[in-house]
Structure 1
Amino acid sequence: MRIKSIAAALAIVGALSLGTPFPLSGAQAEPASAKGWSSIAVGASHSLAVKNDGTVWQWGEIAIYSGAEEGETVLSALVPEQVSGLTDVIAVAGGQIHSLALREDGTVWSWGGNHDGELGDGTDKSRTVPAQVAGLTDVVAIEADWIRSFAVKKDGTVWGWGGFYYRDSEGTVRNASVPTQLNGLSDVVSISSGYGSFVALKKDGTVWQYLEQLTQIPNVVNMVQVAVGSQYTYGLDTDGTVWYWGSNGEGMSNGVSMADGSAARKLEGATGVAAIQASAGGPLLLKKDGTVWASGTNAGGQLGNGSFQSSDTLVRVTGLKKMTKIAAHGIGFRSMAIRADGTLWSWGAPYLGDGTKWNGKIPVAIASYPNETIEQDPYFVEVNGSYLRMDQPPISQDGRILVPLRAIFEAMGATVEWNSAASTITAEKGSLTIRLTVGEKTAWVNGQKLAIDVPPAIVNNSALVPVRFISESLGAKTDWDASSKTVIIVSGE
């Protein structure tokens, strides 16, 4: 019997070898697309995350203002709860009491509080169910702050709605309760806002601030990302350094902070940075080596270093490695990050998402499905520059690292055949044929006998083999990074 699915073949291996009932248990049968997280956002008192299947989940506390005559309702969740009606979402944004979602088709959806028109439907009626923001298409980026919402379109124009005022073509100052194009902004790729400040990053790397009028931030060039905090705005340079300048909306005039009128300057210690965000306390940085760093005030524990003490210099967030995304917001004291294996980590001010409502001084893992087991310090596998997301991570056994055969062979384009009579797995890739027998320390590669340090191990219905076997059988180069516990495999092709 030929099985094209590697996952199916190895599931059968596990069932036959261990006597495990078939099908798998509920936790193991969780669809792969529903495991792990792909995008995150932080609001004032709530958080948002997108799963790999494109669904949206939220937790924390959201005050829903239903209008003066209807009062206020507080929605509270200690663990992620799915937001109904949203699929195919690629990005989210959180404000004080409202939320935005960007779908793959370029449409924007909103829900939550609406007392200043931040939902963009022309009313002040709040709602818990998402609805599409009319008039917006081809959107590539979204942003939200206290009571405002923004969107960047594919053509580089910026649209805003909610609690901000603009001057229309007749010179009348109006409140925008539906999406309204912000005059003067073009060629924009991303935006950031908070505490009254709003900045736009253009394709040419310049940064522009939109308050009473549009103003370019002087001496700030070559930026690839911007993040507004409570006191400063941060910009990521193409060379991996970070610049900052005054951004307090209170006392701001023509892009210059009256509280801090000094010119943009480099953030000390910020080198090799891959992404930036900012909380109400200060910057949050993701470095190219996968570590996360923060500085500033630490009122909610958002520095993640095990204390509530503030720091004028960058400190490393405890326990985080191989991170790929970070999230924070200038209106809150909470931070989040996604690891290369798709796991989500949260720390700082209340409602972290782990079932508690207190501040967290170090990151905690947020499960993507019930009873998910998340390792604090796992092994990783990198194949041709990409990290593998695996149901079963590598393990250490008798001084050797065992890696999941299924995930490795899938990543390298092999197919698998299971022979139930002989209890063998045959993998084929081009002219290469590999045969393994469960429980035996011998493999056959194109008919040639190859000794294995330890036999294939069945762990949680996955077959694991020694790292050395991958390199010797597939002709790949295999390295070991002990500092990050990462197996690095480079295909011979």
Structure 2
Amino acid sequence: MKYFKWSLAAAIAVAIAIPGPVNTAQAAESAIVDYDRGNYLLSDGSVWIQEVDSEGYQQKNYNIAELQGGYGLTKDGKLMLLWGSDAPKLLPDQSGFIQINGNYALKADGTVWTLDGEHLTDYSDIVMISTRDGGLVTLSRSGELKASNMFGKKVDQFNSASEVSSIAAGLVDKVAVVLKSGKVVLYSRYLFDKDDLTKYIPTTVTDNAADAMFDGNGKLVVLLKDGTVSTTSSSSSDAYKLIKTYSKLSGVTGLVANSGDSIIIRQQDGSLAAYDTKTDQLEMLVLPGITDLTFQMDATDLTIGDKVPVQIYENWSNGSSKRIPLAEADLVIEKPYLLQKQADGTLKATGVGETKVTVRAGSASKTINVSISAEYTIDHGAFIKGTMYLPVQAVFQTMGATVQANAATKIFSIKLGALPIQLQLGSDVAVVNGTKVKMTGKVQTVDGTAVFPASLLKTALGAQLNWDGTYQTMIVNFGKAELSVQTKQTDQIVKKKAQGNLAKLIGKTYWINNFDSNYRFQKVTIVDVLPDYKGRYAIALKFPSGKILNSYEMSGEELLQTLGNKQYFFTVDPYKTYKYSDAIWAKIKAGKISTGMTKQQVELSWGMPVNKSAMQGSGIQVETWQYAYYNYVTFTNGVVSMIYTS
């Protein structure tokens, strides 16, 4: 509907593609019949709604008859909000309308309402409305023309409404009426009968018009019966006569909308075009289309379990960019058993392999290649007579396949996407997609796990196989994607390499001193060196009882220093080295000292002091040891003579 339409900048675009949800054939058959605030109405009643947050479009079939002011009037007389953060939505308790214009709507019963649902009781039996800048112009069935705003009320009286083709509210002070005879009459609140101030003097602009409307600058634009378009001037002296004809406009059949320096006209073939009155440029009004896609993943080299955010944008011909949530995107994963959509908008890696991910919108598409590897090495491989065997269930499940084992028939039924694979215990023949494939060995059980020759992955699935004899490991590659399978010897090989020279400690015997006060002077044997594979180690200490205790982790250098420090460990039995009484040993083990004890006994009980001081005279030597927390021990001639504790 004409008057007060929104900016046309988004409309003047080249539509090179139709978005995914729209049927191309349908769009081609349906012409654009109205435009408002970035929304397009098609002849089939569907409307292309511009999304305010993204400026992309969605097509909705609301059976719309007219667009105006951000609203749509349905063919059954209801109002829909089509523009704004709450759009689209059907207005509740609103029906029976035949026209909307600005902030007002006209019902079939002749009543006038605001779009907020307020009934304007001053108006009745109205057949036509027009608004501008809040002013309301109405035409009653009896032919009475009224204008609120600066006119007051009554503007003129016609014989009946049947004389009038259309009415138009101008900027504050003007009203135009197009009569069916072709006459265009212009009224101004400043042009009135001085003898009767309630009467306005009409001015005839032309007698040969088909339609008229005010443009965004307040000038009256008139469609003449010959299909040309002329306009008045914005100056007061020429505001009542046509002074300019738009040279690029001919064969025009209707005036549809206006915005600033642009007007939208309907051409003879029914199409709409936007005409810039300043630049004299005419451009077809066509549906915006998707020109390109932006498709990004935060990472494309994944490991199983990774969840990767995805960004998808439609780039539109009007210069806008619309973000498409993953759940709404036309996204195809070539091998869906490797990568799966998640409800949180991410793609989750579920199997080892390579796959293409393609997003489409209209005629545009983008594809990303993704590779997925296994983060951890698979156990239970077996190297038998020069052939590497892989565990059936673990390997195929890691590749994203489903595996069903039939204990009665000893058959493994594997489904890798749409590809069926069948293996049978005791057989060296696999069945891949119905074709028999000879393997280099039989499917067999090793240490309770069913295994198959690794070469099957190469012959049947095109994998690359790399045997690492040093670590007894098979590395399987599908392009950049990788999984590895180790034998039971692999862990020991890796561990031994990590231990290095520290492996020589295994089997050595020590006696615990202050390394652990709970086990002082007990004999232990190092039965293992446990690397964390990051440069730190723990030792496994075995007691004569068979109990094994693991130490805390430390660097290799710290470990050797600790074992070589008698404050922590003895390399010989202290009970045999120091011939003390049971009473003295009991005090030492309890961490106690008493007068009469020797320096050696105090050192065994309390450890090395933090500081020593000594003096000597008259054949007497006095020495004081300081310990933490202000504890002191004084020796006289090598024997404890005084103890001070805090």
Normalising by structure 1, we get a TM-score of 0.37
Bigger RCO of structures 1 and 2 (CA < 8 A, at least 6 apart): 1
Q: TM-score, normalised by structure 2?
A: 0.29
Mark the structure with the bigger radius of gyration.
2
